[in-house]
Structure 1
Amino acid sequence: MGETTKPGLDGVIAAAKQAPGRGLPPVHLWNPAHCGEIDIVIRKDGTWFHEGTPIGREALVRLFSTVLRKDPDGFHLVTPVEKMKITVEDAPFIATRVDAEDGALKFMTNVGDEVVAGPENAIRVEMDEASGEPRPYLHVRRGLEALIARPVFYELVELAQERQTPQGPQLGVESNGAWFPVGPAGAHQL
């Protein structure tokens, strides 16, 4: 996508730019009447594509991420006047960094969000049925999650401590007063 934008994207860009500072637009309060689809895909690796071409402008991807909303029928870019459905292959964001500070785990996403894991922003790990590999996620905001990048997940495993759970001994990490398992009970003993 070059320096120009398609007509359907102009409203999204204008709405996102109205957010004060790094604040997020109140997309959860917007209920526009006009709905449609736009050919934007967020791939599993976190790359955003428009009409089959990667969106190379990082600032534009960050802008779009601020007006992203997850509804029961899928993911949408939302403005006060329109709501356009997009495709998300896995999670819309990637957690690319973690720092352990003062009993909390602070994550950075590929779109510039800083998220402290805790009761409001849980870490969850699913096991891929086909490969048996862990698929770790972090809640970012309002149902939107970040896939935790593999190197970041390895850091979490290094920080993990064993706890006794009703399912047996389990490795997990603590952040902001909440404890999160990083794998199934007993998996670290195999």
Structure 2
Amino acid sequence: MTDQPSGLAGIAAAAKQAPGRGLPPVHLWHPEHCGDIDILIRADGTWMHEGSPIGRKELVRLFSTVLRLDPDGYHLVTPVEKMKIRVEDLPFRAVTMEQGEEGLTFTTDVGDEVLADAEHPIVVETDPVTGEPAPRIRVRADLEARIARTVFYDLVEMAEVVDGRLTVSSAGQRFPLGPVGAGVE
């Protein structure tokens, strides 16, 4: 038996184990599935618990550090518990972008910073319902962030046309945003 607290308290305790700004090693934790927890990450990035927004940004950040995508969905994971949550779109939003010497660095709504590179690609698919571009970037492991519309517009403004496609470059990689004339110009 362990002295590790369970439920939300256990999640918070596990997340706090990360030294500094590092992330807990959730990929190394393989606890039994304990069931579902009534947490929803809405498409707009709002984290909800039992139908109410989680208002404390620090708590959302804490929970985001123990989030993992498994084949059966998104889970909050501790060394002793694994609880499934719901995610409407992607778990994070890339809300800002800066162009630096190394390339394009995105910051998410939970404070992660990620350089677009081979391991963290920018991918743009077309939403089958709306026909709108649906850009995203890999943040860590299999977790991705939806690139905010205003940030995507900034990408389109800096894009170059390569082989009939709008393309941006970062960290030695090229990322296509979409064909010229396809609603992304």
TM range (shorter): over 0.9
2:170 to 166, 170, 175: 175
Report the Cα distance in structure 1 between the residues aligned to 2:184 and 2:80, rounded to whole angstroms: 54
Report the Cα distance in structure 2 between the residues aligned to 1:109 and 1:149, rounded to whole angstroms. Answer: 10
Measure how far apart 1:130 and its partner are.
Answer: 1.6
Q: In 1, are the aligned partners of 2:41 and 2:48 still within 8 Å (CA)?
A: yes
The CA distance in 2 between the partners of 1:24 and 1:134, in whole Å, is: 31
Deviation at 1:34, TM superposition (A): 4.2
Cα distance between partner residues in 1 of 2:32 and 2:102: 44
Q: 1:131: Cα distance to partner?
A: 1.2
- Equivalents in 2 of 1:149, 1:72: separation in Å? 26
Structure 1 residues 189, 18: CA separation in 2 closer, same or farther (over 3 Å shift)? closer
**Structure 2 spans left out of the alignment, 5+ residues:** 1-5
Q: Judging changes above 3 Å, is the alpha-carbon distance between structure 1 residues 35 and 106 closer, same or farther for their aligned structure 2 residues?
A: same
Task: Report the equivalent of 1:131.
Answer: 130
TM-score, structure 1 normalization:
0.91
TM-score normalized by the length of structure 2: 0.94
Q: Which residue of 2 aligns with 1:187?
A: 182
Render the CA deviation track for 1:54-98: whole Å, top value 9, x for unaligned.
Answer: 000000000000000000000000000000000000000000000
- Name the count of aligned residue pairs: 181
Deviation track 1:84-122 (CA, whole Å, cap 9, x = no partner) reads: 000000000000000011140000000000000000100
Partner of 1:44: 43
Shift of 1:187: 2.5
Partners of 1:115 and 1:14 lie apart in 2 by 25
Measure the CA separation in 2 of the matches of 1:140 and 1:172.
20
Determine the C-alpha separation between the residues in 2 that align with 1:178 and 1:188.
Answer: 23
Using the alignment, how far apart are the partners of 2:79 and 2:174 within structure 1? 38
Give the match for residue 140 of structure 1: 139
Distance of 1:132 and 1:114 partners within structure 2: 29
> In structure 1, what is the equivalent of residue 3 of structure 2?
none
- For 2:24, the equivalent position in structure 1 comes to 25
Distance 1:188 1:90, change over 3 A: closer
**Residues in 2 aligned to 1:37 and 1:83: alpha-carbon distance in whole angstroms:** 9
- The answer to whether the 8 A contact 1:171-1:188 is kept is no
Residue type of the partner of 2:179?
A: P
Question: What are the residue-to-residue correspondences of 1:47-126 with 2, within 5 Å?
Answer: 47-126=46-125
**Kept in 2: contact 1:27–1:69 (CA 8 A):** yes
Give % identity.
Answer: 63
CA-based RMSD: 1.7
Which consecutive unaligned segments of at least 5 residues does structure 1 have? 1-6
The one-character-per-residue Cα deviations of 1:109-159 (angstroms, maximum 9, x if unpaired) are 000000000001000011111211111001000010000000000000011
